[in-house]
Amino acid sequence: MAAPMEQFEIHKVVPLPTIGGFDLSITNTTLAMFGAAAVICGFFAFAFRTKAVVPGRTQAAGEMLFELVDDLAASIIGEAEARPYFPLVFTLFAFIMTMNILGMFLVIPTATSQLAVTATLALMTFFIVIAVGVIKNGLGFFKLFAPSGVPWYLLFLMIPIEIISFLVRPLTLALRLFGNMIGGHVVLNIFGSFVVSLGLLALGGGLATLGWAVSALSLGSVVALIGLEFIVAFLQAFVFAALTCVYLNDVVNLHHH
């Protein structure tokens, strides 16, 4: 069986040429993202294949996810204002959650434990927010960096702070998701190694048999951590979607700020 930490290693699956300095090869991480997209499409195609008035379990689960993200976007951005951005927020939520959950299985790499993946998602969100802000507000977009009601003599301090806080948004988005996903798997790997190493040590007999107790405790910790990791997999996707809504709200409802 493959070691848990091996899923963080990037391997080329389909070697392709390098064009313009970019290696176009398909890696195990790329396949994991394709797999996540296929699972999402397959799930919702199956869930809504009949669109029954009285939904079955799969359709009810799909509707619950839709309502969860819809309520999230509406509560942050506004009922009417959030509607055009629901597809973006829901796609990010579903894609990240699926990648996180699939990464719990050793045969599939954890795509969100790769900083390149989380940074790409964060930068994409960041530039979409900028584009929405400029298209919707024009030059008024720059009011985002000058909070209303602030005395003019404080603007010299506030504007640089607001600009810096805006520019670090993709960094915080990327690092939060990356750190939580890789951190959980590292802890699982450590406790899992305790189960094996202490169990082998206990085979020596004598005082070493105490290793069975510690090994059993480590095994219980692994089971608990796996359950916690599934919760974190959902929560991190939800937090990413929530922060995306917050950033969109800043530019969509800029006139209310």
pLDDT at residue 57 is higher than 90: no
- The domain total for the chain is 1
What interhelical angle do 211-252 and 169-202 show, nearest 10?
170
pLDDT at residue 2 is higher than 60: no
Kindly state the percentage of the chain with pLDDT values over 70. 91
For the ranges 81-90, 200-209, 223-232, the lowest mean pLDDT is seen at: 200-209
**How much is the pTM?**
0.86
HEC string of the chain equals: CCCHHHHHCCCEEECCCEECCEECCEEHHHHHHHHHHHHHHHHHHHHCCCCCCCCCHHHHHHHHHHHHHHHHHHHHHCCCCCHHHHHHHHHHHHHHHHHHHHCCCCCCCCHHHCHHHHHHHHHHHHHHHHHHHHHHHHHHHHHHHCCCCCCHHHHHHHHHHHHHHHHCHHHHHHHHHHHHHHHHHHHHHHHHHHHHHHHHHHCCCHHHHHHHHHHHHHHHHHHHHHHHHHHHHHHHHHHHHHHHHHHHHHHHCHHHC
The domain in which residue 115 lies consists of 4-256
Q: What is the mean pLDDT of the chain?
A: 85
Strand 18-19 versus strand 22-23 pairing type: antiparallel
Q: What is the pLDDT of residues 198-217, one digit of tens each?
A: 777 766 666 667 667 777 88
Phi, psi of 22 (to 5 degrees): -105, 125
